[in-house]
């Protein structure tokens, strides 16, 4: 799609609506219905403004072009309430009845930028949430009879809303009992169990108290956009930054992964090669209690939200940050150690494409197969647009791996592992396909006007011309399906695994700030500053207000189709060799989403297949089935799938300690027996309960069988190769 043209079109439309909205900001906002007894979270003018503009974008530029109306309003309300309380453990029936006043008015409210209704609903939820936690904490020290034959219903999704506080309390009393039984079965003392559970609930209350209007706004927008379609999503500024870092597989900071533990920021992992790693001043488990910039004052961050702390620690490469650290193993009352680090650009290699070489024996032949695991279709667009010759992308990473596998490892075949790859960049899926085919169409895109554009690999030649396979599963989606579909349509390789997710839609990432005239955004900033009364003084004069960050929307604006004309929407890509899916197909996938677009097809594009592998499929399936009949791993996987299906049907659990422990012991014994039978089949010694299995002893059955299928393919035919230009 021509995004520059799209951007200019959106600018023209939004300039008018945004100007009107900014002027409307000066009007008095609609009073919000308040919830007694709690500090009410309220929306701000900026959020109302963003909401209005997203309504405009969705009504005019979403692929569905659905106008907001009463029926959409009703769906948004149901989705929002369910997102807050999916198992009906907090709201009362009277609350749900109260919310009915908004069932057919959210469309009008959203169009006007009015967020009072969903914020009121959240505040009711917040009150119920904290009331139930307070009640639960008060029950922890009670004496319980763990020999009674009562049960706890943990999944109440399909049950009626409770009608009284006393009925809700009864549910939570049983939940407390269940959690205490779990701790008791683990073998800890009663006093320790009380302490552990109390801290758990205190931490939940603490996290709840940190929620702000940006969090609530994100929840509201999720319910709104996902009602329209599953992949149109708004990201508030903090979430937009995380999304773009994930896409780029890089960020600028100190190179450490952080986690919050009892309101203290803790180093969870040091990223190799980053400033924290090279300095040797930080260790996993160290606690950060205060942060300062190069010359600023320290700010105590104990009790802060993790996002707020991380925002202080991250920053542009080349800048300095100072940290106060309580080293791991030292008491929190110890004197902090002050360290200084210079931020750098951190490449997340652990989340990038990787290779390994596997050896497979088949029909008396030994094959070396290079396995390339691709976790996502990522690209650092910011670095690429800036002209960085070494910008990071999936295709560039895979090309380097292919070169090593071909020239150094001298493999016979390549297996691309796209399991759990949820997609990413459409451009990257096209470029990656181009490493395996000569020039030609890869994917067709139909925009909201019905116009079809064929996106092709324009680069002659291939990086790998030998045999190949592609592994997929139910979580392989979007760009993964484009790649797998093209490889299948061209007859370039064999597809192995389970039916893919079925996401056949294209999203454009739109930074709302970039659509607007800077002077207009500055005017909004001044209005917001005036409204809040938070003018900043510099040398006695009012400073210019910082431009507000409006966030980003990923807007569904097109559908993609395979070169054979079929949409992957709903149906996904069906593998040539089908393996069992551990993920339930009736619960995970595009066809389980009520708001998903339908499947359809268009004309086939003008492409020339490399080969026709369909004649080999019956023999490949026959050999695969023969292996499965004798495979202990296959039987174990099928047993696991059957057990999982049974567990999914369960909605309650016994609160009788003896029965619960017997059930757990039986499951553990069954699982241990299964593990040892599988280990014996591979010549490994048996393990006992509690033993840790070494990483190099883990066995990937799905990968192993996929490699055997690829070996079968190599043994069945002389491999046709795509033309390679000299």
Q: Return the CATH number at 311.
A: 2.30.42.10
- Could you tell me if 114 and 155 lie in one domain? yes
Radius of gyration (C-alpha) of the chain in whole angstroms: 28
**Averaged confidence pLDDT in the chain:** 89
- Could you tell me if 363 and 411 lie in one domain? yes
Render pLDDT for 228-251 as a digit per residue (tens, 0 to 9): 999 999 998 888 888 877 777 778
On whether residue 479 sits in a domain, the answer given is yes
On whether residue 121 sits in a domain, the answer given is yes
361: Cβ contacts below 8 Å, ≥ 6 apart: 367
692: Cβ contacts below 8 Å, ≥ 6 apart: none
Task: Answer for the pair 176, 197: CB distance below 8 angstroms, yes or no.
Answer: yes
Active site residues: 478, 489, 503
CA distance 412 to 353: 20
Task: Answer for the pair 415, 494: CB distance below 8 angstroms, yes or no.
Answer: no
Prediction pTM value = 0.85
SS3 386: coil
CA distance 78 to 157: 13
CA distance 624 to 610: 24
SS3 82: helix
pLDDT band at 538 (very low <50, low <70, confident <90, very high): very low
Task: Answer for the pair 557, 448: CB distance below 8 angstroms, yes or no.
Answer: yes
On whether residue 620 sits in a domain, the answer given is no
- Could you tell me if 45 and 185 lie in one domain? yes
CA distance 412 to 393: 25
51: Cβ contacts below 8 Å, ≥ 6 apart: 110, 113, 115, 221
Per-position DSSP letters for 296-316, written without gaps between them: S--EE-TT--HHHHHHHH---
pLDDT band at 660 (very low <50, low <70, confident <90, very high): very high
Strands 577-578 and 494-497: parallel
Residue of 53 and 94 predicted with greater confidence: 94
CA distance 396 to 428: 9
Q: What pLDDT was estimated at residue 527?
A: 56
CA distance 168 to 96: 14
- Could you tell me if 199 and 123 lie in one domain? yes
SS3 471: strand
How far, in Å, are 84, 88, 209, 253, 719 from residue 161 at the CA level? 14, 6, 25, 47, 62
Rounded to an integer, the average pLDDT of 135-159 is: 95
Strands 552-561 and 505-511: antiparallel
Q: What are the φ and ψ backbone dihedral angles of 415, each rounded to 5 degrees?
A: -115, 120
DSSP alpha helices (H): ranges in 631-718?
A: 632-648, 657-681, 701-716
508 conformational bin, left if phi > 0, alpha if psi -120 to 50, beta if neither:
beta
CA atoms within 13 A on the CB side of 536: 8
Checking if the pLDDT of 149 tops 70, the result is yes
Checking if the pLDDT of 14 tops 60, the result is no
Rounded to an integer, the average pLDDT of 7-30 is: 54
pLDDT band at 8 (very low <50, low <70, confident <90, very high): low
Task: Answer for the pair 497, 623: CB distance below 8 angstroms, yes or no.
Answer: no
CA distance 426 to 367: 33
- Could you tell me if 576 and 634 lie in one domain? no
* CA torsion, ordered 312, 314, 320, 326, to nearest 10 deg: 70
On whether residue 9 sits in a domain, the answer given is no
On whether residue 519 sits in a domain, the answer given is no
Residue of 38 and 531 predicted with greater confidence: 38
Q: What pLDDT was estimated at residue 390?
A: 85
Largest CA distance in the chain: 86
- Could you tell me if 45 and 170 lie in one domain? yes
Residue of 2 and 304 predicted with greater confidence: 304
- Could you tell me if 377 and 341 lie in one domain? no
> By residue range, what is the domain housing residue 649?
625-687+698-715
CATH of the domain at 429: 3.90.226.10
pLDDT band at 385 (very low <50, low <70, confident <90, very high): confident
Checking if the pLDDT of 329 tops 70, the result is yes
pLDDT band at 673 (very low <50, low <70, confident <90, very high): very high
Beta bridge partners of 264: 261
pLDDT band at 578 (very low <50, low <70, confident <90, very high): very high
Q: What pLDDT was estimated at residue 228?
A: 95
Checking if the pLDDT of 79 tops 70, the result is yes
Of the residues 584, 612, 640, which one is the last residue of a structural domain? 612
- Could you tell me if 283 and 372 lie in one domain? no
Checking if the pLDDT of 530 tops 90, the result is no
- Could you tell me if 49 and 192 lie in one domain? yes
* CA torsion, ordered 619, 624, 630, 631, to nearest 10 deg: 170
- Residue/partner pairs of 73-79 with CB below 8 Å, 24 or more apart: 73/102, 73/103, 73/104, 73/105, 73/106, 73/107, 73/108, 74/103, 74/104, 75/227, 75/595, 76/106, 76/107, 76/223, 76/224, 76/227, 77/102, 77/103, 77/106, 79/223, 79/226, 79/227
Task: Answer for the pair 343, 275: CB distance below 8 angstroms, yes or no.
Answer: yes
Tally of domains within the chain = 4
Render pLDDT for 274-321 as a digit per residue (tens, 0 to 9): 888 889 899 999 999 999 998 889 988 887 888 888 888 998 889 999
CA distance 713 to 369: 12
Of the residues 612, 641, 659, which one is the last residue of a structural domain? 612
- Could you tell me if 662 and 590 lie in one domain? no
Of the residues 324, 347, 370, which one is the last residue of a structural domain? 347
On whether residue 413 sits in a domain, the answer given is yes
Query: In the chain, helix, strand, coil percent, each to 5?
Result: 45, 20, 40
Cite the beta strand spans of 312-426 per DSSP E: 320-326, 337-342, 344-347, 354-362, 365-373, 413-417
On whether residue 89 sits in a domain, the answer given is yes
Q: Of 322, 548, 218, which Cα lies nearest the Cα of 312?
A: 322
- Could you tell me if 355 and 483 lie in one domain? yes
Q: What pLDDT was estimated at residue 18?
A: 55
Other C-beta atoms lying within 10 Å of the C-beta of residue 587:
9
- Could you tell me if 127 and 162 lie in one domain? yes
CA distance 686 to 703: 23
On whether residue 514 sits in a domain, the answer given is no
* CA torsion, ordered 582, 586, 588, 593, to nearest 10 deg: 170
């Amino acid at each position: 799609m021509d995004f520059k043209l799209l951007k200019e079109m959106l600018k023209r439309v939004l300039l008018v609506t945004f100007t009107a909205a900014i002027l409307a900001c000066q009007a008095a906002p609609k009073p919000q219905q308040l919830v007694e007894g709690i500090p009410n979270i309220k929306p701000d003018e900026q959020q109302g403004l963003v909401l209005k503009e997203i309504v405009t974008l969705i009504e005019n530029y979403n692929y569905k072009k659905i106008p907001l109306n009463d029926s959409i309003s009703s769906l948004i309300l149901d989705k929002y309430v369910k997102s807050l309380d999916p198992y009906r453990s907090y709201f009362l029936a009277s609350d749900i009845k109260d919310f009915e006043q908004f069932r057919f008015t959210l469309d009008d409210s959203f169009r006007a930028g009015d967020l009072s209704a969903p914020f009121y609903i959240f505040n009711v939820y917040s009150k119920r949430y904290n009331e139930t936690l307070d009640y639960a904490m008060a029950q922890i020290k009670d004496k319980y009879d763990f020999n009674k034959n009562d049960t706890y219903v943990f999944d109440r999704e399909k049950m009626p809303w409770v009608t009284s506080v006393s009925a809700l309390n009864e549910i939570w009393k049983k939940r407390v009992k269940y959690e205490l039984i779990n701790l008791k079965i683990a073998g800890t003392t009663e006093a320790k169990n009380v302490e552990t559970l109390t801290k758990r609930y205190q931490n939940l209350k603490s996290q709840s108290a940190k929620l702000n209007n940006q969090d609530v706004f994100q929840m509201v927008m999720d319910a709104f956009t996902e009602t329209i379609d599953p992949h149109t999503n708004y990201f508030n500024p903090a979430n937009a930054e995380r999304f773009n870092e994930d896409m780029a597989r890089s960020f600028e900071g100190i190179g450490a992964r952080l986690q919050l533990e009892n309101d203290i920021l803790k180093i969870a992992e040091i990223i190799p090669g980053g400033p924290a790693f090279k300095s040797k001043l930080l260790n996993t488990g160290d606690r950060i209690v205060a942060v300062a910039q190069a010359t600023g004052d320290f700010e105590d961050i104990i009790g802060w939200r993790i996002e707020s702390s991380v925002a202080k620690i991250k920053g542009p490469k080349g800048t300095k940050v100072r940290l106060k650290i309580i080293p791991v193993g030292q008491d929190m009352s110890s004197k902090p150690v002050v360290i200084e680090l210079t931020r750098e650009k951190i490449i997340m290699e652990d989340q990038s494409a990787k290779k390994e070489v596997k050896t497979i024996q088949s029909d008396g032949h030994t094959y070396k197969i290079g396995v390339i695991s691709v976790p996502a279709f990522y690209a650092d667009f910011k670095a690429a647009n800036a002209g960085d010759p070494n910008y990071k992308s999936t295709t560039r990473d895979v090309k380097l791996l292919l070169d090593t596998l071909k020239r150094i490892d001298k493999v016979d075949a390549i297996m691309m592992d796209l399991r759990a790859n949820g997609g990413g960049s459409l451009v990257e899926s096209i470029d990656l396909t181009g490493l395996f085919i000569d020039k030609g169409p890869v994917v067709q895109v139909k925009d909201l006007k019905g116009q079809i554009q064929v996106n092709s690999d324009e680069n002659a030649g291939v990086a790998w011309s030998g045999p190949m396979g592609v592994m997929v599963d139910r979580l392989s989606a979007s760009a993964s399906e484009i790649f797998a579909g093209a490889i299948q349509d061209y007859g370039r390789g064999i597809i192995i695994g389970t039916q893919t997710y079925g996401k056949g839609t294209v999203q454009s990432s739109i930074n709302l700030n970039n659509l607007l005239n800077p002077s207009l955004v500055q005017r909004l900033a001044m209005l917001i500053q005036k409204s809040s009364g938070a003018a900043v003084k510099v040398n006695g004069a009012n400073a210019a207000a910082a431009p507000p960050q409006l966030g980003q929307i990923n807007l569904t604006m097109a559908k993609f189709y395979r070169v054979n004309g079929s949409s992957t929407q709903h149906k996904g890509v069906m593998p040539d060799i089908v393996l069992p899916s551990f993920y339930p197909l009736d619960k995970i996938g595009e066809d389980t989403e009520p708001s998903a677009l339908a499947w359809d097809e268009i004309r086939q594009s003008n492409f020339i297949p490399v080969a026709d592998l369909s004649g080999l499929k019956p023999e490949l399936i026959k050999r695969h089935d023969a292996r499965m009949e004798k495979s202990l791993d296959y039987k174990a996987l099928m047993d696991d799938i059957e057990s999982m299906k049974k567990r999914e049907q369960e909605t309650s659990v016994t609160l009788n300690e003896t029965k619960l422990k017997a059930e757990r012991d039986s499951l553990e014994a069954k699982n241990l027996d299964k593990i040892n039978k599988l280990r014996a089949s591979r010549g490994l010694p048996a393990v006992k309960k509690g033993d840790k299995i070494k990483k190099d002893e883990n066995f990937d059955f799905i990968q192993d069988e996929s490699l055997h299928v690829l070996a079968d393919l190599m043994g069945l035919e002389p491999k046709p190769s795509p033309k390679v230009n000299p």
